[in-house]
Copies of this chain bind each other. A is one copy, B any other.
C-alpha cells in the first residue's frame, strides 16, 4: 500500500496523493492545521501507534509539508510545524471539511468554517482567482500542459471527450 510509485506519473494529483494521500498523513495535517505540533499531541489526538506516527512525520518532512524543530535539548524533543508548502495545503483540507459536512454530518455540523466577524458559516467554493467563476462548471476543462507526455495528453483528450467540454 505504501509508495505505489505514482510519482513516475506526471499527474499533479498522483504526485500529491503519493506524498500525503494516506489516512494518517491527512489526519496529521488536519491536526497541524489545528495547531498541534508535538509528537505526543498527535499520538493522543489520533490514537496512532508511535512507529506509524514517526514514519508519517518523517514522510511529511521529506515531502516538504512539515518542518522539524528542536524545542527541548534535555531531553531532546522535536516539534513539527507546517512549512509554507504545508500551509498551502489548507485549502485541500478545507475542501475536504466542506465535503464531509455536506455528506457525512448526519448529526449536524460538529466543526465548520465561520466568518470570524459574524460567526456565519462559510460556504467554501473553488473559483478561478482571476475571473471569480466556479472552476467546477462548464466554463473550465482539464487540459494537457506544457510538460505533458503522450500518456497525459491521451488522458486529457479522453477526459475532454467525456465531459463534452
Contacts and interface: CB of A to CB of B under 8 A. Distances in A.
Interface of A: 1, 4, 6, 10-19, 21-24, 26-27, 30, 33-36, 45, 47-48, 64, 85, 88-105, 107-117, 119-132, 135-136, 138-149, 152, 155-156, 158-159, 161-163, 165
B136 A119 contact: no
22 contacts: A4-B24, A4-B48, A6-B27, A10-B110, A14-B27, A14-B30, A19-B104, A22-B23, A34-B156, A35-B162, A35-B163, A45-B155, A85-B103, A91-B125, A95-B95, A105-B145, A107-B147, A110-B144, A110-B145, A115-B139, A123-B129, A126-B126
B17 A96 contact: yes
A88 B116 contact: no
A31 to B, nearest CB: 9
